[in-house]
Structure 1
């Protein structure tokens, strides 16, 4: 539970220059940037504390941006929409912002930037401390019940500590996130409000989510549970090279989470279990130099022993390389490099990192993120139809959208 500073009545009958619903990454950045511009905002947060999703990101370490972030790593019905926001607030701006407040970045892999020697709590503290300095008010445990939209005025009715309360402002930002991780307070508030005002919604679904396997292969995946293998995972849209993790219910790991955002139920996924290498060439070399080697010995060079043993369901792993027939070598090649999976489904919003889809970007100005049909209303962050890859990309969109909106409050 957190309240920073008392409410000041400004602009006549208005309580603030803007009300922000949702004290997540987008909402917090917007409040801070508005403070730099001398604008007073009030943040309403449903959870007990601000930045709840920031706090659990990256296992509490918070992968707060990606050095390679551009419009190319985002999914949207309008793939060009994000360009304006990213031109206004760049990765360099994010890095510089956090460095100013004592958080320097340390690159892990693939451009992922984590706080060096600090964690997600320190990231959230940057925002709450700046908000305190600017007198921006954060009200937690606030359940918004209704929003009355009138000309040049938004009246927000909310409940806190069992009491009904009301706020008024000429501008409103809804940054309540998406549907993943309901136990962390995820809500469909933004989507419901948008529908109420006849705004178009791009179909939503879990994204960056593990995929499930059922049927005759389920037992095979279960026996491999806990094994991680570096792979190339692809479909007809995109390719990712990262680890996959076998689980008792299917597949997870970075490569699977990435491809899940591009996967649709009923489609197959292609997995190359030995990318950038050629198992056929390796077997041919062994046939001429050490043909008595067992196939299992060759595979154990690349995979955990448990994985090799499980491949015995499909491959003659106990045969000597020299005795493998051409048909068997072709089978091995196809199983290693053209392993096909048809997931039954995904693990849903409970396990998803983000939501795919959301408020149609055609309803918003790409330059300001203001709603075209409802002047003074803004949407930012995850509730908008912009979904990034795993690895700090979605945070970069949250920071950028918060910055852009603050300039236009």
Structure 2
């Protein structure tokens, strides 16, 4: 059988691309390294799949070219995603901050949509296909893809190839730098990569303090010189996690500081003043326990005079309280790396791709979509929206 396009990777981008290409009567073969489609979809959102975000905008993405994603997100909007899944029997329910999950709360239902559609459209899916090489025939302009399948080396040929094999996070799900290597092979620049949406580690003299607080979750504002997020942070045995930390990690580089406002909705100085007006008989520890767990309050005793009566708290004490509560300084040692990262920052340079089609400018017929491109979304369904949009856009230009 002859194919119009070979899609490398059966994740969100590759699956959407294969289905949309099928609607346009394109014959497709999807080559997936794993023994099932959508491995990363299946574990996303704790197995519930946060498949888009109602508030998606270009400002929710990190890229060397902040405008690059605009064209794709315009061609395939959040409404398009919602309508597509509703047509396939998946209604969405909104959770925190615009995150949309299937009402069934089952990620496997999302994958099942694509499995069914690919079957209906007659598209070929080859599982356990590890692509080894991609070469372009200068005479015909077509691509030859060599891959291992069931202990045999096989090959397929097509005039178009879509690289949708993801990025480096979560090696056990088959993640690799294959798309990046293919980009470099065809002379395309790759923007430096790093783990993103990833927990941060603390080592050295402060490690024990953080570790002792493992399990404590606090609504906070976390920021650095580039971005700011208000969500929960979670103390762990190795440092910090939770939504706000995962978000800021995408804007953090090794060696840099981050700051945490542990009480972003109130001011500690005002709370102290109110206590004074009531006589100030309570201890600082008692005031703090109105807002934090007993364990966390006791831990703050390392930095604050928590056993002081509020009536005897001086100006310097208040200054110290403001510094610790509203500007808690942290210097992470590093991150938990690609195996714990939800996505990869960086990737195939946007300078190398057409923003309208995602085709490589230097190599006709070669497309890149999804996570391997230098477009990284925030936590909360944004990366799925980029994957669906880029898959759709590529399909329109095959």
Alignment counterpart, residue 95 of structure 2, candidates 95, 98, 108: 108
Of 168, 177, 189, 2:166 maps to 177
Distance 2:155 2:303 in 1: 65
- Please say if residues 42 and 107 of structure 2, whose CA atoms lie closer than 8 Å, have aligned partners that are also in contact: yes
* Deviation sequence 1:225-258 (CA, Å, 0-9, x none): 1100000001111110000000111100000000
* 2:96 counterpart SS class: coil
CA distance in 2, matches of 1:172, 1:196: 14
The equivalences for 1:5-404 within 5 A come to 9=1, 15-151=2-138, 152-404=141-393
- Residue aligned with 2:301, SS: helix
Tell me, yes or no, if the aligned pair for 1:103 and 1:118 is still in contact at 8 Å. Answer: no
Deviations 1:36-79 (A, max 9, x none): 11111000000010100000000100000000011110000000
Q: Do the aligned partners of 2:343 and 2:376 also contact (CA within 8 Å) in 1?
A: yes
Deviation at 1:191, TM superposition (A): 0.8
Structure 1: 4+ residue segments shifted above 3 A:
none
Deviations 1:151-173 (A, max 9, x none): 42011111111111110111100
Q: Please list every run of 5 or more consecutive structure 2 residues that lacks an aligned counterpart in the other structure.
A: none
Partner SS for 2:132: strand
Q: Is the 8 A contact 2:370 2:386 kept in 1?
A: yes
- TM-superposition CA deviations, 1:308-365 (whole Å, max 9, x none): 0110111111111111111111111110001111111111001000000000011000
Native 8 Å contact 1:18 1:42 kept in 2: yes
Q: CA deviation at 1:196?
A: 1.4
Hey, what's the Cα distance between the residues in 2 that align with 1:145 and 1:67? 38
Deviations 1:141-187 (A, max 9, x none): 00111111124201111111111111011110010000001111101
User: In the alignment, is the contact (CA less than 8 A) between 1:31 and 1:41 conserved in 2?
Assistant: yes
Shift of 1:268: 0.7
Normalising by structure 2, report the TM-score: 0.99
SS of structure 2 residue aligned to 1:394: helix
Aligned length: 396
The separation in 2 between residues aligned to 1:145 and 1:31, in whole angstroms, is 21
- How far did residue 276 of structure 1 move? 2.3
